[in-house]
Amino acid sequence: MEMVLLIGIQATGKSTFCRERFFPTHVRLNLDMLRTRHREKLLFDACLSGKTKLVVDNTNLTRNERAQFITPARAAGFRVVGYFFESRVADALRRNALRRGGEQLPQKAITGSSNRLEIPQLEEGFDELFFVKLEADKQFSVEPWKS
């Protein structure tokens, strides 16, 4: 049983990484798709009670936001793995500008998220934590977390 938590500001590649790495093996929880925290919690609780692998594909910017997933997942016996995405505002704004239609976010959303971002720590309850960088060739490099 595993819960994966993706962490980073918008337009850093989290959803693309999720599709590439976890689509065939994990249930994806994404607030953009589910639209409400109530629906998100229902699906989250179902995954925990069903002992189903899941990935939380949201920004998960603060320690408190992450704890809402980490605490119950650990209590249910899940292994918790975090992937922190390099969150440079200039890079995110550039990628956001390439998005089409309704996928493009207001610049304020990205800069505001950056201001709220708290760097994750293993002590939050992660069994493993990784640093993810979206390279120029649109490939992801994943490295073990360095505290």
Q: How far apart (Å, rounded) are the C-alpha atoms in residues 82 and 61?
A: 12
Residues 6+ apart with CB under 8 A from 43: 27, 29, 34
- pTM (predicted TM-score): 0.94
DSSP three-state, residue 28: strand
What per-residue confidence (pLDDT) applies to 3?
A: 98
CATH of the domain at 88: 3.40.50.300
What per-residue confidence (pLDDT) applies to 18?
A: 97
How many CB atoms sit inside 10 A of residue 27's CB?
A: 16
Please give the average pLDDT of every successive group of 10 residues along the chain, which has 147 residues.
Answer: 97 94 97 93 98 97 98 98 94 88 84 94 98 90 91
What per-residue confidence (pLDDT) applies to 102?
A: 74
Q: How far apart (Å, rounded) are the C-alpha atoms in residues 94 and 123?
A: 33
Q: What is the three-state SS of 60-116?
A: CCCHHHHHHHHHHHHHCCCEEEEEEECCCHHHHHHHHHCCCHHHCCCHHHHHHHHHH
| Structural domain harbouring 36 | 2-144
Domain count for the chain = 1
What per-residue confidence (pLDDT) applies to 138?
A: 84
Per-residue pLDDT tens digits for 16-56: 999 999 999 999 999 989 999 999 999 999 999 999 999 99
